[in-house]
Every structure is written in structure tokens, then in C-alpha cells.
Amino acid sequence: MIAHDPRDWFRPVFHFHRSDTFRKLLPLILLIGGITAGVAWLENSWLHLAQDHRVKNITLMHSLLGFAISMLLVFRTNTAYDRWWEGRKLWGSLVNVSRNLAVKVGAWLRPEDHEDRAHYARLIGRFAAELGRHLLREETRLDLDEEPHPELRIDRRRHVPAQMVALMHARAARLLREGRLSQEQLIVLSTDINAFLDICGACERIKNTPIPFSYSTFIKKFIVVYTVTLPFGFALVMGWMAVPVVMFIFYVLASLELIAEEIEDPFGRDSNDLPMDRLADTITGNVNEILS
């Protein structure tokens, strides 16, 4: 049996990373706490309402709506995680496709075909980096458009991943014409090369199809109204203890929405997004090792 250090379980509880939801929500949590304290003072110290006052019946509304808000948040979180996990599977497929193509090129080309090996090593190794920047809508740092070889020049105003795939197909067709690849080998290579654009298109579908804005804003409004009205019933029954209780309830509900909002777009620079740069470096290293 494997023994686990209890500190590995408790350390995240007391560690507030810069991406932790508590740090991001702290101003709103304090605001909710202030509102709750104001309501508690108003009901107990100013109006001196009795504990059996009809105001406490407002908690019946929260009991009825609690199930609805929990179902909405579960669906919201699951939908966002499905998008994140699909993005991770696509980049895992990109790693496998890159290795497979490099292995086949390395096996079918002669060892002395240094130029063709270097051509594919450069394109396969850089496709992941270009795809990541394409999804981030960043300007690329790769100077392929200044490459002295005309076959490697890229027009940055067009779809860069598609151009790189076109260059792979062009070199494969040239190898066929020169008799260094057979028709059967070309078909196999074309299948692997086409997989690059299939992965790119699937990633673009996730990137360009966000969760409907009205759905996200409705959940946020629901959470705010739900928590802001909690103190009116809780303050009569719990007194000042309602302040930390309502703050904690808001923290839990708002954190679920914030987590879903962060992971629904896995192609970004946040701490919870996919490590596209690291995966691209892994592909580059593997491809260079295979085709060296």
C-alpha cells in the first residue's frame, strides 16, 4: 500500500496561487460580506426583528432555487471541461501524428537525403508551434518568410498551418516524381499529412465556438441575486454568523463559474490552459531525433 503524506492533501488548501479563485474573487467576497453585515445590523440592531418574523421565510426561495443553480453549475462545469479535454486529446493526436510522419519519412528516405529530411524535420517540428500561435492569434516569431529556400516561404497574411501542410504535400509529390517514393508510400504519407489540418480544424472549432454569452451572464446574475438575498433570512436565525456563511456560499458558487469560464477555452496563456509551447517543444525534439 502506498503511503501518502498528509501535507500533500492540506498544502493546496492553504496555498493561494495567483490563478486561485479565492484571490480573484476576494473583492467580491468582501463586498458580499459587507452586505451581509449591513443586513444583519439592520434586522437585529436597528429594526429588532423577531426570529419568527416573516422575513426568514425568504429562505424557502433559496431551498427551491438551490437545486436549479446546482444543476446549472454542474452542466456549465462539465461542458467547459469537455471542451478542455477535447483540446488536450487533439494535441495528443498531434504529437502522435508528428512522430508517425517523421518515422515514415525517416524510414523511406535514404540516409544521404539530408535536404529532404531537414525539410520535413523543419516543417513537422514547427507545425505545432505555428498552430499554437494561430489559435492564440499571435504574431509568429518564426522567420520562415525570410527563408532563403523559396519552397519554405510563408505568406503571413494567409492561413499559416494550411500553407505548411501544403509544403509537406508539395515535397512528397516531388519525391514521387523523382522516383524516391512509390505511389503506395505517397498515399500513406498523404493520410498522415492530412491529419495535421484535421487537428487544426477541430481546434479552430473549439476556439471559435464559445459558450453562449447569454447563458454565462444568466448564471452570474443568478449567483449574485441568490447570494445577495441570503442574508435577509440567515441574519435572523444566525445573527453575525451569517457573514462568514454567506461569504463562503458565494465563494463556492462563484468559483465553479469562474473555473468553467477559464477552462472552456483551452488555447490561451492562463495557468489552466493547455501547455501548447511545451507540447510543441516535445514534438520538435522527437522529430529532430528521428530525422537526424
For residues 114 and 259, membership in a common domain is answered with: no
Q: What pLDDT sits at residue 240?
A: 87
**Any alpha helices (H) in 137-292, and if so which ranges?**
160-177, 183-207, 213-238, 242-263, 276-291
Cell digits of residue 214: 447569454
Closest residue by Cα to residue 156 from 146, 168, 166 = 146
258 with 123, same domain: the answer is no
Give the C-alpha separation, 166 to 191, whole Å.
13
Query: Do 223 and 157 belong together in one domain?
Result: no
- The total of structural domains in the chain comes to 2
17 Cβ partners below 8 Å, 6+ apart?
23, 271
pLDDT at 66: 85
pLDDT of residue 142: 45
Whether residues 221 and 158 fall in one domain:
no
142-186 pLDDT tens trace: 444 445 455 566 777 888 999 999 999 999 999 999 889 999 999
Domain of 31 in residue numbering reads as 27-84+212-263
In this structure, the answer to whether residues 184 and 281 fall within a common structural domain is yes
pLDDT at 271: 80
The whole-number pLDDT of residue 144 equals: 46
pLDDT < 50: residue spans in the chain: 1-3, 140-146, 148
What is the reported pLDDT for 9?
59
Prediction pTM value: 0.81
* Residues 217 and 77 both lie in one domain: yes
pLDDT of residue 140: 47
Cα 50 to Cα 43: distance, rounded to the nearest angstrom: 9
The whole-number pLDDT of residue 94 equals 97
